[in-house]
Each structure stands twice: as C-alpha cells, then as structure tokens.
A and B are shown apart, each in its own frame.
Chain A
Amino acid sequence: MMSQAQEWISICALTALRPGTGACALVQGKQLALFRPSKEATLYALDNIDPFAQASVLSRGLIAEHDGALWVASPLKKQHFRLSDGHCLENPDFSITSYPVRVNGDRVEVALA
C-alpha cells in the first residue's frame, strides 16, 4: 500500500538553528525539539517534553555522542534520548517519539506522521 505523501511543514530558516544546539518549535499544537549537532545541515526532531519531569525542555539539553550514536542529555536530570529514534538510554519505557525532518532550500521542514 502506498503511504500517503508526507505533509512537510516549514518551521524556520536553517541559519536560525545555531550549530551544536537545539530549539523548540510549535507544530500543530505539539512541542517539538529540533537539533543541529554541527555546522552540517543534518537535523533531528524529537518530542520536546522530558517524559520524566513532564517539562518542555529537551531542546535545551547538551548534544552528546555515545556508542557511535548522537543523544540529547535532558537539561534537568541528564537522561539520554537518541536523536535518531527517541530511545531512552536509562529506561526504554520512557522513550519518546522522533519525527522526520529535512532542509528544503534554506528552510527547515518537519512532518508529523
């Protein structure tokens, strides 16, 4: 079965994301965390809400590399969430959703489904 074409939603200019940091975006009522690990145009998108503290903070965490993968460490208590799929290193029951994200021209776009 053909999946429905993803609906890409434009968020901001790529230059608005400072390399090595994240930012929070509001997408159809959802709080998303966008991450730009380096100067490259490679981006990631996860839920912004820390599932342990129920606070909207993950975009403000440090981006870290462990075991060859990139993670964000929650700014509150440092639990790690894998940027590629939202897997929680400390407790997989607290894993979060990841979202497709791309750079189209100079715009950052995400898709919710």
Chain B
Amino acid sequence: MQASTHNAGQPPRILVVGNGMVGHRFIEELCERSAPGAYQVTVLGAEPRAAYDRVHLSSYFSHHTSEELSLVKPGFYDKHGITLHLGEAVKQVDRAAKQIHTNQGRVLDYDTLILATGSYPWVPPIQGAQHHECFVYRTIEDLKAIRSAAKQAKSGVVIGGGLLGLEAAGALKALGLQTHVVEFAPVLMAEQLDSQGGQMLRRKIESMGVTVHTGKNTQEIQMHGGQQAAHRLCFADGSQLEVDLVVFSTGIRPQDTLARYGGLPVAERGGILIDDHCQTADPAIYAIGECAAWQGRFFGLVAPGYKMAQVVVDRLLGGDARFEGADMSAKLKLLGVSVGSIGDAHGRTPGSHSYVFQDDQAGVYKKIVVSADGSRLLGAVLVGDAEDYGNLLQMALNDLPLPAHPDSLILPAYAGAKPTLGVDALPESAQICSCFDVTKGRIAQAVADGHHTLAALKAETRAGTGCGGCVPLITQVLNAELAKQGIEVKNHLCGHFPYSRQELYHLIRVGGIKTFEEAIAKHGQGYGCEVCKPTVGSILASCWNDYVLGEDLTGLQDTNDIFLGNMQKDGTYSVIPRMAGGEVTPEGLMAVAEVARDYRLYTKITGAQRIGLFGAQKDDLPAIWARLIDAGFETGQAYAKALRMVKTCVGSTWCRFGVQDSVGLGVELEHRYKGLRTPHKMKFGVSGCTRECAEAQGKDVGIIATDKGWNLYVCGNGGMKPRHADLLAADLDKASLLQYLDRFMMFYVRTADKLQRTASWLESLEGGLDYLKQVIIDDSLGLAAELEADMARLRDAYACEWQQTVADVSQHARFAHFINNSARDPLVQFVAERAQHRPASPAERVPTYNISLEEA
C-alpha cells in the first residue's frame, strides 16, 4: 500500500517518537520558530509521563516530586495543538508506506519522522544480572522501584562508578542505605577524570560514608544467596560483597531498534547513523539525541541532543544549520562533591603539559592541560571546587590566550590576584549556556531589551535553565552589561531611604535615633511605606529594644507585631505562649487548656514544639494573655521577626543515647535571646547527640552535643529552600559557645538585608563561611567586644511585651474591634471540623443583622 498517505491541502505531518528531554526540546524549538498550525504534530512517548528532567533525577529522592522534574508546562501541548500519546511505544516503522505501528495497534501516517528514542541502560552479561530484582537507573519508574525495594533494605550497591553510577549512589544514600560503589576500572569516572582527580573524588565520597571498591570485576550475582544480607556479589579476585539491593549503572546504549528493524544503517557501537543535518539514510527520517550516531559515535549528554534538535528544526524550516560535534565538558555535583571536566582532561594531546594544584585537607584537586607552547587551554579536571569551571571552559572553547603563568588560574585566591577572564574578553559569539546554545551576544541583547535580573534573563533566553552550570557566568555578563549601560545595581531600602538596611542600621545606631520621624527627616524623604516602616521599626527594636507598641512606634509595626499575634485569614489571631525548649508543666498545660476552652480556641501543636491557640478575636487578646501571664507564661514572640524558639531533643537527662543536656542548654539559649528583633525570624535547635533528633542542622543556629562539648552550626534553613547549616566551630565549652553566639547574632543583626534569613545572608557574604569564622572566632574586624556588649545591653532591656500591654490600660481600647461600639466583628464566624472548628469561608457565613436597640 503506497497511496494511502496522501495528505493534499493539509499541513505536513511530523511524527516524533520519544518524549524525553531531547524529543521535547525539538517540539519547543519547532513551536517557537514555526507559524502556528504550520505542521500537524503527533508525539509518542513510551513512558507514562511527559518529558522530565533526567539530569536531576536523583533530586527526586531528596526534595523534588515528579511534577517538579517535569519539563512540560501544563497545557503546553494542547495550546499548540499537538497530539500526545503517552505510555505507547512504536514497534515498527514502515518506511515504504510512511507509517508507524504502535504497541496499542495504532497506525499513524507521517511526512517527516523524528526518532528521539534515547538510550537504554546496558547491563553486562553477568550471571544473575538479569534477575528482576537487579535495578537500573534511568526513569522515574526505575526510581520508584528502587525506592520501594529500599524500604526492606539496609545496604545497597551500585555497579558502575561512572557519572551516572555516582548519581545513583547519591540516590541510595539519600534513601538511607549503607551504600557501596563497585567499579571495574582502577579509578572512578575514568571517562572524565585523570587518576589523581579520581582518587580525590574517591576520598571525598568515602568520607561521606560511601564505600568504594575499584578494580573489581563482578563475575556473579547470587540473588537471595547472601548470608549477612540478601544478595551476594562475587568478584574475579575471589572477594565477595553482600548487600540488600543491587543497581546497575554500567553505561548506556542507543535505543536504535526501530532503525535496525526498519533497515536504516546504524553505527558499529550502536546509534542510528546521521549526517550533519541529523538526517538518516532515509530523507524523511531524522534521528536526534542519544539514539543517533554522528560520525560513528553517540553522545551521552543532553547538550549535544539539544543542538541536534535545533539543527533539525532549522532544516525543516529551510535553513542550513549543521551539527558539528559537541563539547563533552561537564560540571556536576555528585554526592555533594563538585566535579568538572573540560576537553582533553587526560592530557592526550601530543606535546601538551599540565599544571596541578592539590589540597588534601580541603579535598581539592585541580589540573589544567595546556598546549605545547603554553598559549592555549586544552582541558581541565576540577574536583572538590569547580568555581573556575565557567572561566576555564570559555577559555578552552573560545581559544583565548592564556596568561603568562597559567597555573595562577587554578591557585587559591590568597596566592595572589587571580587573573580573571573578564566576560569582556569573550567574543559575542561565545556560547555561555551550552544546554540551550545561548551566546554572550544573545544575553547582552536581552539585557539591552530591559531584562535586568537573572530571573528575567532566564525566562527570556532560557540560559541557565538546563544544568545551571553557567549561572555564575550569566551573572557576570548581566552585571557587565548593566555597568556598560550605566545602570547601578542598587540595594536601597525603598524610594524613601537611599540606603541599604545595613547602612541604615549604622546611621540609626551611631546617631542614637529613636523614632521613624527622626530617621526619615535626617536620612530619607517623604512619608514612608510598608517596606521602610517595618524595617526601621525592626532596626529601632534591634538597637534599643523599646516597647514596640509605644506611642511613636505602633504605626511602624507590620500585620503581626501591631497586635502581638499572627493574623489569620479571617482577621482573628493566634496565641502562642513561650514554652522554652518545648518544656511545659502539667499545671501549665491545664492553664492553656482552660483558656482554650473558655475562649473557644482551636488548639494545635505547632511545628516549633509549643501549643498554638487559634481564632482569638482581637478584643479577647488582652484578657487571654492576662490569664496566661497569671499562670506563669510569657509571650512566645511567634508573631515577631525575632528568635522564635529553640527546638530540643530530651538529651542526656532522660535519653539513654544523649551525651549532653540539650534541653537545659536549649532553655537557657531561648531565654538568652528571646524577643530580640532580628532582620528575619530565627529558629534554633539543640541535639543531645549525633542522632540529631532536634534537626538542628536545618536551623539558623544548630548545636549538636559531642563527647567533648558542643558543635556549633549556623545558617541552616528548613521551609521553602532548605539548607544544611555549616559547622562554625567544634567541641566548644559552654562559655565559648555563648560568646560566639552573641557575636554571631549581633553580626547578623548589623549586616543582613531586610527580611534576609541567615542562610541567604551567609550566601551573600563575600568570603562566605571562612570570612564569618574570621569575624566570629578570630575577631578579624576587632568588633567582638562591641558585639558582645551590644547583646548584653539588649538582654538587659528585655521585657515581655504582653505583660507590658496587659498592664497598660490605655492599650486595651486599641484591641476593641470597633472604636465606637463594643460589638464584635460579625464576619468572624466558625464552622465545626474534626471536633474543633475553623473559620467559615465567606460563602459559609450566616448573614447577620445589626439591630439597634436605641432605634427600636
């Protein structure tokens, strides 16, 4: 049947087989460059979900969901009139009839066929390897299977110590398994790293608790044949390893079966043969991505696949773009270790020589390979510190001349001024983002068109949205272009104050300024706004710790501070008394319970180890707090940008594993810093041993007990953007701990930007953690005594705000709902839920009528 596929008068039919990263990139490029409706596009994907980010697959375990990994914006295919069939594989291509047959019995005609079938994991022919409980690591479905098997497992092994294998090992570790990596070659990542770099990587990975076995030839896997664990691996040298879970990551092979059956030529080592236009031997069929072989080789990275997708779209639209090979440089983070590999990493170019920097203590290895005459960079290996990757890559790709002493490129900054590449040196044509092939010229144009932030540039050019390795370089180009246009990068508070928060803090502190009026008269202009008022309010509190509801200060307080409670969606408030360290007496619990019952408050344990009472009406707040204060409670400052609380585990007083009294320390710290207004809210945690039950490393300040004292971690965060805290100092006695903490707190108060949590503050500090250590521990700025004195003064000025408010009768009028009537807010209504109640939605509210007795 030849004649069935006539399509007269209709737009040409493009059929895309494969909905992976490259297949999807092709669709995006086509939609972007062709007129709507110019083609009739159908996509078939064998996996049950639309294209997702395979490069960041291991993050699926740590913090991403499959939705977050998705590359397809909701509604994208519908919007462009593209038909997408998921979970449907193509089993045959009938080139003569220009038709494909799917495993669902569907037959589809095409005018142009795009094969983007990707690759499949290759598993070596080892006895036992074909067992269904041996896993591979490529799709979300693979990961789900691994995750489910890991629930019954204590240990796991990844066979294969290449790039993907180490990714997989990271995933096993994230699942809490004792993790092993087995590699046939003598070093890890032999493809990208030289042997010294591989050694360094191994040491770093082992220090994280992953056991690495190199030079091991796995001969047999005895599934369910283990004694200590479920399965047993037998190696050629007679040794054995027993684990509960086996994952293969021994390389990939192009998925070229359709081409083989369809009679299209394939390369010797696999891959559908394509020419410079990515066309196969059949002019109606193109192949792109990992399933394609150009000049006999296939590319196992995403960037070359993206380039091929662009070439084919250009070709379909009548252009003459060509695929001319791809740079296989890569930068990635494996198990938390930064690794970079550029060009001729092994120094195989005749006559080339290399420079090496190695710091065993910090775990950093850097090597550059330069040409025989020392004028050009040919390759590089970076382990433990890949900061230089962007610069070095641009030097290699753009053939830039090297400085007189090329080794200065990889020496640490303290060795002397590092020759910076300077983005000005790059030609306009320099490719900054290799994932999306974005040049420096394109980024400069976008900046000129008004895209002045990194986020705006990403949205406009897509640069930096693939692997993300080029983001530092994009930022450099952005800043250089802004500077050229004479645009200053400002960090002014707002239109009313031409200063940053840090500068304003200094002016207020040194000038002894006590009110907003004085601050804006001396250092600002106009009336003020919802940005500068609370910021100045917070700075005044950080400097003088005066009562925040004082006559001149009330109008500066934001939503929560102005009535000393967190406003809920219906205008009611939460009431959260302090329970330092999470401790509460039975009598205290009873008092809280009685208040909750008497005022009908919804009651819940909060995330901060204390009890929250919700739904309190504003006019009840003074009476509620009067009762809590009588029962011995004080404000928990749950409404303030201040230290909220200290989370503790029970520690050595009760726990049989605890090595120090974590509750005792937590209670002391909470009382030491309570109420002190900080640029943003702060949370502390204290754990009594390394089991870390208080999750201290996810807090702004985390303290973990050791046999010898306390380890102090700083600048962690949970919430939206989790960050592990960094170790500031180890094995401290309590006096030093308190001293460092006083300094740390005040240094943060002095130098952070408005509403900047400690985590992003540290990231923005020039010099980072090392600088912070110098300031806090070595007193490099000579500030320590002043910081400690400031803190002592503030602590002396502490008073419970609710105690002050309850005692001050003039405040009570402010808490009435109406200034002219004792009625309550008729819009505050509740509906029952799970034995308590919640705010009624506007639709659920019962209309109320105000009947005035005077008129009746």
A positions within 8 Å CB-CB of B: 11-12, 16-21, 23-27, 29, 31, 34, 37-38, 49, 53-57, 60-66, 70, 73, 75-76, 78
Report if A62-B530 is in contact (Cβ < 8 Å); known contacts: A11-B819, A26-B818: yes
How far, in angstroms, from A39 to B691 measured CA to CA in the complex? 57
Cβ of B527: which chain A residues have Cβ within 8 Å of it? 37-38, 63-65, 70
B534 at the A/B interface (Cβ < 8 Å)? yes
Q: Which residues from B are CB-within-8-Å of A49?
A: 827
For B530, B555, B827, B842, the residue with the greatest tally of chain A CB atoms inside 10 Å of its CB is B530
Shortest C-beta distance, A13 to chain B (Å), equals 10
Q: Which residues of B, 553-568, contact A by the 8 Å Cβ criterion?
A: 554-556, 558-559, 562-563, 567
B819 touches A56 (CB 8 A): no
What's the least CB distance linking A69 to chain B, in Å?
A: 10
Residue contacts A-B, CB under 8 angstroms, 14 given: A23-B814, A24-B817, A26-B823, A26-B850, A49-B827, A53-B570, A55-B827, A56-B827, A62-B533, A62-B555, A62-B558, A65-B529, A73-B529, A75-B567
* B571 lies within 8 A of A57 (CB): yes
Which one, B533, B567, B842, contacts A60 given CB within 8 A?
B567
B484-502 vs A: 1/0 string, CB under 8 Å?
A: 0000000000011000000
B528 at the interface (CB under 8 A from A): yes
| Cross-chain contact B528 with A18 (CB below 8 angstroms) | no
A100 to chain B, nearest CB (A): 17
B239 within 8 Å of A (CB atoms): no
Residues of chain B lying within 8 A (CB to CB) of residue A56: 571, 817, 825, 827-828
Contact with A along B648-663 (1 / 0, CB 8 A): 0000000000000000
Q: Is B78 an interface residue (CB 8 A)?
A: no
Contact A63 B819 (CB under 8 A): no
Counting from the closest, the 8 A-B pairs by CB-CB distance are A20-B555, A65-B527, A64-B529, A75-B559, A54-B842, A73-B530, A23-B819, A55-B571
Answer whether A18 and B814 are a contact pair too, CB < 8 Å, given A54-B842, A64-B533: yes
B152 at the binding interface (Cβ < 8 Å) = no
Chain B proximity of A75: nearest CB distance (Å): 4
How many of B's residues come within 8 Å of A, CB to CB?
Answer: 35
B528 touches A65 (CB 8 A): yes
Give the complex CA separation of A61 and B241 in angstroms.
66
Considering the chains assembled together, what is the distance between the CA atoms of A76 and B571 in angstroms?
A: 8
State whether B559 touches A60 (Cβ < 8 A): yes
Contact A12 B567 (CB under 8 A): no
Q: Looking across the interface, which residue of chain B has its beta carbon closest to that of A21?
A: B555
Contact across chains for B819 and A64 when beta carbons are under 8 A apart: no
- Cα distance A37–B533 when bound, in Å? 13
Contacts of B817 in A (CB 8 A): 24, 56
Does A21 contact B825, Cβ atoms closer than 8 Å? no
Which among B534, B821, B827 is the interface contact of A26 at CB below 8 angstroms? B821
For A20, what are the chain B residues with a Cβ–Cβ distance below 8 Å? 554-556
Name the contact of B569 in the complex, choosing from A12, A21, A37, A55 (C-beta under 8 A): A55
List residues 786-833 of chain B with CB under 8 A from any CB of chain A: 813-814, 817-821, 823, 825, 827-828
B275 to chain A, nearest CB (A): 55
Do B850 and A64 touch (CB < 8 A)?
no
Interchain CB contact under 8 A, A78 and B530: yes
Say yes or no: A64-B528 contact (C-beta < 8 A), given A16-B819, A56-B827.
yes
C-alpha spacing A26/B813, complex, angstroms: 15
Q: When the two chains form their complex, are residues A34 and B530 in contact, meaning their CB atoms are under 8 A apart? A: no
Question: How many angstroms from the CA of A84 to the CA of B481 in the assembled complex?
Answer: 42
Taken together as a complex, chains A and B put the C-alpha atoms of A34 and B819 apart, in Å, by: 10
Residues of B with C-beta under 8 A to A25: 818-821
- The CA of A11 and the CA of B564, in the complex, are separated in Å by 26
Q: Given the complex, which residues of B lie within 8 Å of A55, measured CB to CB? A: 569-571, 827
* A39 to chain B: closest residue by CB: B517
For the complex, is B551 an interface residue (Cβ under 8 Å from A)?
yes
**Nearest opposing residue in chain A for B569, CB measure:** A53
- Which residues of A lie under 8 Å from residue B559 when comparing CB positions? 60-62, 75-76
Q: A29-B849, A57-B571 are in contact. List 18 more A-B contacts (CB 8 A).
A: A16-B819, A18-B551, A18-B814, A21-B555, A25-B819, A25-B820, A26-B850, A31-B827, A38-B527, A53-B569, A55-B571, A56-B827, A60-B567, A61-B559, A62-B555, A64-B530, A75-B562, A76-B569
Tell me the bound Cα distance from A76 to B555 in angstroms.
16
A60: chain B residues at CB < 8 Å are 559, 562-563, 567, 571
CA distance A60 to B560 in the complex (A): 10
Which B residues lie within 8 Å of A31 (CB)? 818, 825, 827
Please name all residues of chain B whose beta carbon is closer than 8 Å to the beta carbon of A75 when the two chains form the complex.
558-559, 562, 567
Residue numbers in B under 8 Å from A18 (CB-CB): 551, 554-555, 814
Q: Is the CB of A65 within 8 A of B818?
A: no
Q: Roughly how many angstroms separate A19 CA and B821 CA in the complex, as a whole number?
A: 21
User: Whole-angstrom distance from the CB of A22 to the nearest CB of chain B?
Assistant: 9
Nearest residue (CB) in A for B848 is A29
Give the most central of A26, A53, A60, A78: most B CB within 10 Å: A26
Please measure, in the bound complex, the distance between the C-alpha atom of A84 and the C-alpha atom of B569, giving whole angstroms.
26
Residues in A whose Cβ lies below 8 Å from that of B820: 11-12, 25-27
Task: Please determine whether B554 and A21 come into contact, CB atoms closer than 8 angstroms.
Answer: yes
Could you tell me which residues of chain B, from 497 to 538, have a CB within 8 Å of some CB in chain A?
526-530, 533-534
B819 and A12 contact, CB distance less than 8 A: yes
Q: Which chain A residue lies CB-closest to B855?
A: A28
A24 to B819, alpha carbons, bound, how many Å? 6
Q: How far is the CB of B621 from chain A (nearest CB, A)?
A: 13
A34 contacts across to B, CB distance below 8 A? 819
Q: How far, in angstroms, from A65 to B531 measured CA to CA in the complex? A: 10
With both beta carbons as reference points, the residue of chain B lying nearest to A55 in the complex is identified as: B571
Selected contact of A76 from candidates B551, B567, B842, CB within 8 Å: B567
A65 to B496, CA, bound (A): 9
Nearest residue, chain A, Cβ from B817: A24
Nearest chain B CB to A20 CB, angstrom units: 2
Task: Determine the chain A residues whose CB is within 8 A of the CB of B551 once the complex forms.
Answer: 18
Residue of B nearest to A37 (CB): B527
A96 to B671 Cα, complex, angstroms: 45
- A25 to B823, alpha carbons, bound, how many Å? 10
In this complex, the member of B527, B528, B813 whose beta carbon has the largest number of chain A beta carbons within 10 angstroms is: B527
The smallest C-beta distance from A106 to any residue of chain B, in angstroms, reads 14
B567 touches A57 (CB 8 A): yes
Instruction: Give Cα A11–Cα B527 distance, bound, in whole angstroms.
Output: 26
Check B526 against A65 for contact (C-beta < 8 Å). Answer: yes
Q: A37-B527, A55-B827, A56-B825 are in contact. Are A63 and B818 (CB under 8 A)?
A: no
User: How far does the Cβ of A10 sit from chain B's closest Cβ, in whole Å?
Assistant: 9
B533 nearest in chain A by CB position: A62
Measured CA separation A31–B821 after assembly (Å): 11
